[in-house]
Structure 1
Amino acid sequence: MKITAAVVPARSAPFQIENLELAEPNPQEVLVRIVASGMCHTDLHARDGYFANLPYPIVCGHEGAGLVEAVGAAVRGLAPGDPAVISFPWCGECEPCRAERIAYFANARALKSGGRRADGSAPMRRPNGTPVHSCFFQQSSFATFAVAPAKDVVKIRRDAPI
């Protein structure tokens, strides 16, 4: 699908608004129409090259909120139209995750700033087919739409302002 995103084209370069293509959600993912996204120092650090493993070009944003647009075939508990916020990623398998200390999970660096899904794929592309790194904190919410793992998407009350 066609989306618009704020892309950091290279280390220390300013954000640029670009038209991109976004892949459909995988079976365990959710497509969220982004209504709002916070910007914090983490996004600015990403723009400025603070994260050694961060690839460019990249779409940042890790505080997304919006409406569920579509769900992957294996997703339960979320449906199109649900208001939701997207949380930070976690694996669910390592010792910290099993101990409910998900902020300290073992694969944090790769999932937060590796620029790809956990399976290694990149869901965003330029119209010419060139991949754009995304999945920043497994969401890249500086875009009109984002795909995120369903386990990271939290359904909120319909009357909650987003």
Structure 2
Amino acid sequence: MAETTFEDAFMDIQTGLVSLVLEALEGSGGVARVFIFGAIEGGMTSFNACAELAGRIERLDALVADRRVLFQVMGLGSKDLAELETICAQHGRACPTQLYGRYVAGGGYDARYVYEPMATRAVDPVAPGAAFSAWLDALWAGRDPLA
């Protein structure tokens, strides 16, 4: 069996995160895009997501009615991000401190990675929740930095 490359393992984590969100939204009908956000810094991980349905982008917590399912998704997403950190360390690669991913139904996946400290920087730290909210605000304003 062929050895998994770093790139394959790195993408597998992101594919799993998108699948996790799609599974949580199963039955919601017509998911056009899924946006995933991850923060990995200072020994902590944070995961969040939003999706576009019927032309509107909504936070995952507004789309998933069952709180148990929502907390399960967030926990599994954070666990996957911790695995991403492990994969980067095993391959001697820098791990992104933030990950912004966009999956377009039938059109593929794009991502942007930040490698500089964000939450732990000494001047103007940006908490993961604030970074996700700022991205969501940009998406709501029609500015998708990944488009």
TM-score by length of 2: 0.27
Q: Which has the higher helix share?
A: 2
**Could you say which structure has the greater relative contact order, defined with CA pairs below 8 angstroms and 6 or more residues apart?**
1
